[in-house]
Chains A and B, each alone.
Chain A
Amino acid sequence: MEWEVVIGLETHTQLQTKSKIFSGASTAFGAEPNTQACEVSIALPGVLPVLNKEAVKCAIKFGLAVNAEIAPRSVFARKNYFYPDLPKGYQISQYELPVVGKGSFTIQVGDQEKVVRITRAHLEEDAGKSLHGDFEGMTGIDLNRAGTPLLEIVTEPDMRSAAEAVAYAKKLHELVQWIGICDGNMQEGSFRCDVNVSVRPKGSDKLGTRREIKNLNSFKFMQQAIEYETRWQIETLEDGGTIHQATVLFNPDTGETRAMRSKEEANDYRYFPDPDLLPLAITEQDISKVKAELPELPTAMKVRFEQDYALSSYDASALTASMAMADYFSNLVTELLKSGIGTLKSSEYPTAEAYAGKLAANWLMGSISAKLNEENKDISACPVSAMTLAGLLKRIADNTISSKIAKEVFDAMWAGEGEADSIIDKKGLKQVTDNGAIEAIVDEVLATNAAMVAEVKAGKEKAFNGLVGQVMKASKGKANPAQVNEILKKKLS
């Protein structure tokens, strides 16, 4: 039987506010335990929550970014349960009426675009941390994190492979950073995913029983966990077993998922509206105010890139993967166009923009990305600025150097040796375009390669290329290849 996996995600994004969602305590990561736990964080008798307006703004930003309904009235509810790192004995969350309603989100999987539906996103507070390792026979409680604002983003079960789920998570991860609501630091737990996985016979429209993989904090683990879980569920069903709804954890050491100890009874959280907080009212005005502060969103920018620079969907998607990447690309293209570069080769491209765009995209996704990957760096840490790179591309376009020499100059720029022009000068890499000088080299090569000349005359195309190569080599790569071709052809005809 052919199986289909069905995946939905719940992502906890820690919002980048200075203070906690219901108190003035700092949210900075890494402080000594319990030094950022004010009277509200530790739930002293008599304290009350006061909603942080910045957290609401973050939720509105997200709602706008995924084209979602933003509730004019949403309600904070108490989720009641006992745990030592939950100081009030309840978590303030949103239950029946979340701040962000239905929305949608387009992801790129290979060459394909896919729409993932967002079910809802709601504001809530994080719990503290239980430290099990540090005290013999006891558990330590650190309430620094208690009350940190979270936006929990829930999708419909729209993904059909681990690759799609990871593509969604990555895209979401970029988006929340793009709109400035989350620092995206997965190591510190700022972006944590719970993945619901079920399988069903292909073609069936009934959902299988799902198991929830909790707290995945890397895309690699997410991929592995979903793949393992999918295999396990299919094998279990094929062996005649049944899947029971469960919460599972992924063990990166074994690469396996395992069900958490199942509780004898399901938790009844006894949700009810928190009487300490008024319903959250959001007006059209509030929304337009936030809208005005929102940067151009990646989806809009992607479309614009496709139109303005005649880029493929794939290229445009890659170039809008992060704001730093998009900024780099935009700066590079602007710089190229400013120098009038596009007009030189416009016959090959419909517009100057298309030429500049393609050139910039090729370099960014080619040499720059390769180098960054090699050194495990982000585009924001790229040692060659857009301006510097533009200097190099200009010299390729105006035939000062060949593409081959460009590589050498690029490496030198990467190593911090300066701007393209000064490197070309210093190393004497300027392309030879003087016909006389090239002819002299050609004559010399023809004289010393009689056998190859004979082959060319016998009609062997390959030998011609060999001669070009010899000329280039003799010129140390500096001869203009087009001119070399032309002169060689003339001499051999």
Chain B
Amino acid sequence: MINSSLKQLGAMLQAKQISSVEMTREFFKRIDQQNPDINAYITLDQDKSLAQAAAADARIAQGKAELLTGIPIAQKDIFVAKGWKTTCGSKMLANFTGPYDAGVIERFDAAGAVNLGKTNMDEFAMGSSNETSYFGGVKNPWDRSRVPGGSSGGSAAAVAARLCAAATGTDTGGSIRQPASLCGFSGLKPTYGLVSRYGMIAFASSLDQAGPMAKSCEDMALMMNVMTGFDERDSTSLDRAKEDYTLDLNKPLAGLKVGLPKEYFAEGLDGSVGKVVQEAIAEYRKLGAEMVEISLPNTNLSIPVYYVLAPAEASSNLSRYDGVRYGHRAAEYTDLMDMYCKSRAEGFGDEVKRRILIGTYVLSAGYYDAYYLKAQQIRRLIANDFTEAFKKCDIIMGPTAPSTAFKAGEKADDPVSMYLQDIYTIAVNLAGLPGMSIPAGFATGSDGKALPVGLQVIGNYFDEARMLNVGHAYQQVTDWHTRMPEGIA
């Protein structure tokens, strides 16, 4: 069961081979065994999950089931869910219980999916290793001395270790794709505006986007059918006709023009990772795709631009955590300013503070033009790079991350090296484009351990159906996506 697709799980439920309650219990059994070590979940609430499962069973009995009805899905702890502790990986919100449902949560609830629990993440989604979580790091199921990537590290480990049928994540600079690459499964960041941000705790509003993390592109298509859609409560949500992402899954790839950005295969890419990516590209040639070299000349500017814009927005987004209305408040303080300072000093971790400081600095009088405004201009150039590239190709491929999973603690004290983890993913967020990572094989590191490598697929705006088609075709002729880490059965 644990390696079954969402479609298979749905079929089992609707054929009443297994009830949703039984399926949910089965996952809890696995969670009980694995989670104490892996630490993928921050909050589990069996009573709540099982009540949802029972309701799903009733719905199935009435013949009103949808595809995901009764299937246990893990939710990143960035989504506010009514009655669920919602921490965003921070001490600041360690005592915060959601009083309402995020748009994404509502949609899964309406589809009858079971919320299996809230997954671990980097604090306020700031990190690429899940090490900034107030609730502790998450272990990579492929090698428990290594990180799962971040910020959606808990969801990543949960999918990789089959501690859920699928999970949600959010991606501001690579937070779905990089962990998908490091943990060997499929993750998709949709076009900005496709999934509602309502109730998704903001990190950098102009970049944040939620998406599916699952075992296959077919699973992701089913997740996308639930997650996407206009939400009038989010002004950046796009009001467009709803799509069925499963329709194009089986289209032939013959004639597909794939752009390979030369900047993505240059210095900085781990050789063994590059080799795996080239092999995947060779596979696509066999499927009839045509390769075109393209250039994204401003790639090297994407990280500096991101580390101006994202902290700027974050510094303002995180101002509401002041200890006045909810969240952590210092026990003792002398006056208002002291309460603010102590509450925030105690409630936020180092990485969050670092970004608040950077963001405050770049928005300050006298620096705004040189940093924030400049970065916005370059952001437009980066988006233009893609517009130009898509004149020459239908889709872009390259590595998701420059290396395989690194050791816990290895980069924790070296923020810049950590930031470079997102060198291939960040530009996609800056341009608002959809990006996807699918498992493409394994690279053997210096210690002889085989670790997963992801292939990144970047599409034009709203081209998710084609991307999923491209991924699905590959997953029909390869089995990387079905591989499971040892020791999780």
Residues of A within 8 A of B (CB): 39, 42-51, 78, 80, 82, 84, 87-90, 141, 268, 270-272, 275-278
Q: Are B320 and A48 interface neighbours, CB within 8 A?
A: no
What is the CA–CA distance of A87 and B325 in the complex, to the nearest angstrom?
8
Chain B residues, CB < 8 A from A89? 316, 318-320, 322
Q: Are A43 and B320 interface neighbours, CB within 8 A?
A: yes
Known: A48-B235, A89-B320, A272-B368. A43 touches B200 (CB 8 A): no
- Chain B's closest residue to A44 (CB) is B99
What is the CA–CA distance of A49 and B321 in the complex, to the nearest angstrom?
17
What is the CA–CA distance of A47 and B234 in the complex, to the nearest angstrom?
9
Please tell me if B306 contacts chain A, counting CB pairs below 8 Å. Answer: no
What is the CA–CA distance of A376 and B204 in the complex, to the nearest angstrom?
56
Q: Are B316 and A46 interface neighbours, CB within 8 A?
A: no
Q: Are B372 and A44 interface neighbours, CB within 8 A?
A: no
From residue B373, how far is it (CB to closest CB) to chain A in Å?
Answer: 9
- Chain B's closest residue to A45 (CB) is B201
Among B156-210, those with CB < 8 Å from A are 197-202, 204-206
Known: A39-B99, A46-B200, A80-B316. A276 touches B322 (CB 8 A): no
Q: Are A84 and B320 interface neighbours, CB within 8 A?
A: no
Q: Are B235 and A49 interface neighbours, CB within 8 A?
A: yes
Q: Are A47 and B199 interface neighbours, CB within 8 A?
A: yes
Chain B residues, CB < 8 A from A50? 232-235
Q: Are B363 and A45 interface neighbours, CB within 8 A?
A: no
Known: A89-B320, A275-B206. A45 touches B96 (CB 8 A): yes
Q: Are A44 and B100 interface neighbours, CB within 8 A?
A: yes
Of the candidates B79, B235, B336, the one whose C-beta lies within 8 Å of that of A84 is: B336
What is the CA–CA distance of A78 and B360 in the complex, to the nearest angstrom?
13
What is the CA–CA distance of A90 and B318 in the complex, to the nearest angstrom?
10
Q: Are A82 and B340 interface neighbours, CB within 8 A?
A: yes
Of the candidates A48, A49, A270, A277, the one whose C-beta lies within 8 Å of that of B360 is: A270
What is the CA–CA distance of A141 and B324 in the complex, to the nearest angstrom?
9
Please tell me if B438 contacts chain A, counting CB pairs below 8 Å. Answer: no
Please tell me if B364 contacts chain A, counting CB pairs below 8 Å. Answer: yes
Contact with A along B351-383 (1 / 0, CB 8 A): 000000000100111001000100000000000
User: Apart from A47-B198, A89-B319, A141-B325, what 4 extra A-B contacts exist at CB < 8 Å?
Assistant: A46-B201, A87-B320, A268-B364, A270-B316
Of the candidates A88, A275, A278, the one whose C-beta lies within 8 Å of that of B319 is: A88
Chain A residues, CB < 8 A from B298? none
Known: A42-B325, A48-B234, A277-B235. A80 touches B363 (CB 8 A): yes
Q: Are A44 and B326 interface neighbours, CB within 8 A?
A: yes
Of the candidates A48, A87, A88, A272, the one whose C-beta lies within 8 Å of that of B372 is: A272
- Chain A's closest residue to B207 (CB) is A275
What is the CA–CA distance of A78 and B363 in the complex, to the nearest angstrom?
11
Chain A residues, CB < 8 A from B100? 39, 44
Please tell me if B217 contacts chain A, counting CB pairs below 8 Å. Answer: no
Chain B residues, CB < 8 A from A276? 202, 205, 235-236
Chain B residues, CB < 8 A from A78? 316
What is the CA–CA distance of A278 and B336 in the complex, to the nearest angstrom?
34
What is the CA–CA distance of A307 and B88 in the complex, to the nearest angstrom?
68
From residue A281, how far is it (CB to closest CB) to chain B in Å?
Answer: 12
From residue B38, how far is it (CB to closest CB) to chain A in Å?
Answer: 26
From residue B194, how far is it (CB to closest CB) to chain A in Å?
Answer: 15
- Chain B's closest residue to A139 (CB) is B336
Known: A50-B235, A88-B320, A277-B235. A43 touches B312 (CB 8 A): no
B88, B232, B312, B324, most chain A CB atoms within 10 A = B324
Closest 3 CB pairs of A and B: A89-B319, A270-B363, A275-B206
Chain A residues, CB < 8 A from B198? 46-48
From residue A187, how far is it (CB to closest CB) to chain B in Å?
Answer: 28
From residue A151, how far is it (CB to closest CB) to chain B in Å?
Answer: 20
Q: List 12 A-B contacts (CB under 8 A).
A: A44-B99, A45-B321, A46-B79, A46-B198, A82-B322, A268-B364, A270-B365, A272-B372, A275-B206, A275-B313, A276-B205, A276-B235
